[in-house]
Structure 1
Amino acid sequence: MALCVFFGLKNTPLTLAVAASHAQLNILHRIVGYTAVFLVLLHAIFYTIHFGRQGRWATLIEEENLDGIGAGVAMLVLLMGILRHRGYEIFYISHIAGFMAAVVLTSLHRPIWAKKLPVAMLFIAGLWVSDRIIRATRMACNLINNEATFCPLPGGGTRLLLKKPGAEVAPPGSHCFLWIPRVHLYENHPFTIVGNGPSGLELVMKSRQGFTKGVGNFATRYPRRTAWASVDGPYGSCPNTDNYDKLILIAGGSGASFTFGLMNRILSQSERPIRQSFDFVWAVKRTAQVILCASLTM
């Protein structure tokens, strides 16, 4: 569990050792998590067989073992991460609730401090809480004197322009976690930074469900309206493109927010004329979405 939490940190120390962001390291978080759940299932099966052969079924309903069963159920709840693309809000809430329940119930399952399990759970909780404190502090600081302007786009898209942070803080192509209390008080979601200049930090999103649907509805109902907003970030690393003669950028739909952001980042960081060749491929379902291009390149 400790390794799983470590790989899941947004502010992981690993970024100092390897050129990878938390998003790229998330695959390790999932692999370790699936392995942990598999080992928990084996643990439950083998002990059930062991007690069953000895006729000690009553042992399974002892208080400490019931806590262990509860911890196992909480670990299974964490598997709902498989469905995160279908319902991010459900995934987000269930993941946090499942993790907290798993840590507490695992400590109660074997509460003897001499066996080190409660110590390990405290260490795991400390890692997670530290990461949350760092993120909450950033979010609170960026909330001061910050607001987002909502601009509806054709095809159900929304363009957001935030006053903060500055151009040097959040380069295009990276991503940040957006919090808009008026849309969802308790949620923040990751979005790619399209541009960041004197006019502010620019985000573009496609309205689907949950948070993005709420943002889209607000933008449609109150175009050019502003609301209190904050971001945590930036996160993410982009490859060094200076050594390539030609770059091919391919995106579909709102995924162009990353490729446009990467292109804007390359152009803004270049101190001399760019001699590279660019091929930009963008697939859209409706011609109305092409108008989005004007927003992304402004």
Structure 2
Amino acid sequence: MSAPVIPSSLQIYNSYVEDPIWQGNFTVIWCSGLAITIAVSLPSLILSLRHGRSFKGITGISESTGYRSVSSDDNKSLPAPGSPQSRRLVGAWNALVSQTYWSPPKLELNLGQIIVLSAYLAAVLVCIIKDAPLISNPNRAGFLALAQFPVVFLFATKNSILSLLLGPGNGYEKLNFMHRMAGRTMFLGGCIHGALWIRNHLQYGLPILGPQKETSGVASLALLGIIVLTSLRPVRRLFYECFFLVHVLTYVAFFVTICYHTMYASPWIFPPLAFYGADVLMRLLRYRIKDATLTAQDAHMTLIRVHSCDDGWLAGQHVRLRVFFSNRVFESHPLTILSAPPSHSCLSSPGLILGARTNGDWTRALNNYTLKEQERSQVHEKSEGGPSALVHVMLDGPYGGSSIDLGGYESVLLVAGGSGVAFTLGLLDDIVERWVSCHPYQL
């Protein structure tokens, strides 16, 4: 005689068996979406590998060698145009994809990003709600909050394997929107999990603070709330240095408290640690300390010419710059490189050129420091902009850039406004030099 089977409707929901399955389902969903994106980007990656663009600058800005390699002329040639049929197919595909670049006013997201975020949020909500008795046992939301850890860190690190797989122009600044979304869905899952458990504890007269699990859970939710609230756009823009410091300290504390709260958090901690460790290692390879010349054109613009930089970046990329002056040595800021590498530049001045428009405390302090040094004329050299100030700088990068090689097109229209002119100048410098190199007698 076989043992009686309890009907499924009468079985007690075992969240520690069922909910990890939904964690796995969610992980499969976002990994599948990522794999599809990489597959779609594969032709672009192959083309950039063929033209030597994919791994350009992966080890940072190159040191000055004192001479130009003869083989560098080969890199300046324009890519051979494809057949008319292939160009029509590429044009049709670009016209289709270009629709996703439309951005609603004041949202700072394009249509493609909105679609991706909507699909991601839908996947999270389905995995939280589907067949889960959240009122009596809200553990599912907590498990899904833990499943956000790999996404949060994969799309947050500046040196990510994902950026390499997606090809040039897909740096952290274009992937960071997913980092913010994953962080907010983690907060959403944490709020559902915490709020419903607090409700249950109040209903049955159980202590909310006191036992380790409850206390560490409340602390984790509080830290997660601080991370999300201090990451809102107004805080990031007005108090970036404070935001960054709070962000680093709170996510370290959050890691500790969540591991005290549940033993199921430990497996989800290791992928973020691996992503962050790889990012730190790559940054160490990309750091450079150089001599630089500061020239204040006026009270609104400071030019920074970094010496002994010949190669290691693509036109349109940016670096994070730290200038050792006054008491601002702990601040680094992203600045777009105004020129292409000397081997691809039509400018006669060697080195790496950056422009800092006075638009905040740091850029204003840099401009005032340069103006004072020029007035003193104690340490200066003759240049197009007059007296200059010599400083030491630290470079981290390059990052970002254009996702397409403009040299492969017959006609290019560049439109820029405001600070976007820095990005455009680098691209213009690159394509003009390559055209001149291929058509030296058509000037």
TM-score higher than 0.5? yes
Displacement of 1:31 in angstroms is: 1.6
- Asked if residue 25 in structure 1 is aligned to residue 25 in structure 2, the reply is no
1:160 aligned partner:
304
Displacement of 1:161 in angstroms is: 0.7
2:393 aligned partner:
229
Residue pair 2:315, 2:401 contacting (<8 A) in 1 also: no
Q: 1:68 aligns with which of 182, 203, 217?
A: 217
Q: 1:108 to 1:213 in 2, by over 3 A?
A: farther
- Asked if residue 12 in structure 1 is aligned to residue 160 in structure 2, the reply is yes
1:291 aligned partner:
none
- Asked if residue 121 in structure 1 is aligned to residue 273 in structure 2, the reply is no
User: Partners in 1 of 2:173 and 2:193 — Cα distance?
Assistant: 31
2:316 aligned partner:
173
Q: TM-score, normalised by structure 1?
A: 0.80
- Asked if residue 135 in structure 1 is aligned to residue 283 in structure 2, the reply is yes
Q: Which has the higher strand share?
A: 1
- Output the amino acid matched with 1:71: S
Alignment of 1:243-282 (within 5 A): 243-270=408-435, 271-273=437-439
Q: 1:74 to 1:268 in 2, by over 3 A?
A: farther
Q: Please list every run of 5 or more consecutive structure 2 residues that lacks an aligned counterpart in the other structure.
A: 1-148, 343-348, 375-387
Q: 1:130 to 1:53 in 2, by over 3 A?
A: same
- Output the amino acid matched with 1:9: T
User: Partners in 1 of 2:316 and 2:401 — Cα distance?
Assistant: 8
User: Partners in 2 of 1:8 and 1:191 — Cα distance?
Assistant: 19
User: Partners in 2 of 1:109 and 1:244 — Cα distance?
Assistant: 56
Q: 2:334 aligns with which of 180, 186, 190?
A: 190
User: Partners in 2 of 1:247 and 1:155 — Cα distance?
Assistant: 33
User: Partners in 2 of 1:269 and 1:12 — Cα distance?
Assistant: 30
Deviations 1:159-189 (A, max 9, x none): 10111432x2123310111122335333322
Deviating beyond 3 angstroms after TM superposition, the runs of 4 or more aligned structure 1 residues are 242-246, 268-271
User: Partners in 2 of 1:118 and 1:72 — Cα distance?
Assistant: 17
1:104 aligned partner:
256
Q: 2:293 aligns with which of 149, 161, 182?
A: 149
Deviations 1:194-251 (A, max 9, x none): 1143621111011222332332222222231111112111111312224545433222
User: Partners in 2 of 1:155 and 1:182 — Cα distance?
Assistant: 18
Residue pair 1:5, 1:124 contacting (<8 A) in 2 also: yes
Displacement of 1:60 in angstroms is: 3.3
Per mean C-alpha deviation after superposition, the further-off stretch among 31-40 and 264-273 is: 264-273
Q: 1:107 to 1:150 in 2, by over 3 A?
A: same
Q: 2:355 aligns with which of 193, 197, 204?
A: 204
Q: TM-score, normalised by structure 2?
A: 0.55
1:285 aligned partner:
none
- Output the amino acid matched with 1:92: F
Q: Identity over the aligned pairs, expressed in percent?
A: 22
The DSSP-based 3-state class of the residue aligned with 1:178 is strand
User: Partners in 2 of 1:74 and 1:37 — Cα distance?
Assistant: 10
- Asked if residue 54 in structure 1 is aligned to residue 204 in structure 2, the reply is yes
- Asked if residue 85 in structure 1 is aligned to residue 237 in structure 2, the reply is yes
Displacement of 1:63 in angstroms is: 3.1
The DSSP-based 3-state class of the residue aligned with 2:337 is strand
Per mean C-alpha deviation after superposition, the further-off stretch among 45-54 and 174-183 is: 174-183
Q: Please list every run of 5 or more consecutive structure 1 residues that lacks an aligned counterpart in the other structure.
A: 275-298
Q: How many residues align?
A: 264
Q: 1:50 to 1:242 in 2, by over 3 A?
A: same
User: Partners in 2 of 1:46 and 1:125 — Cα distance?
Assistant: 30
Q: 1:165 to 1:257 in 2, by over 3 A?
A: same
Q: 1:130 to 1:187 in 2, by over 3 A?
A: farther
Residue pair 1:89, 1:210 contacting (<8 A) in 2 also: no
Deviations 1:90-121 (A, max 9, x none): 222222222222222212222x3xx3x22322
The DSSP-based 3-state class of the residue aligned with 2:312 is coil
The DSSP-based 3-state class of the residue aligned with 2:413 is strand
Residue pair 1:173, 1:265 contacting (<8 A) in 2 also: no
User: Partners in 1 of 2:373 and 2:267 — Cα distance?
Assistant: 51
Displacement of 1:127 in angstroms is: 2.1
RMSD of aligned residue pairs (Cα, Å) = 2.2
Displacement of 1:70 in angstroms is: 2.4
The DSSP-based 3-state class of the residue aligned with 2:320 is strand
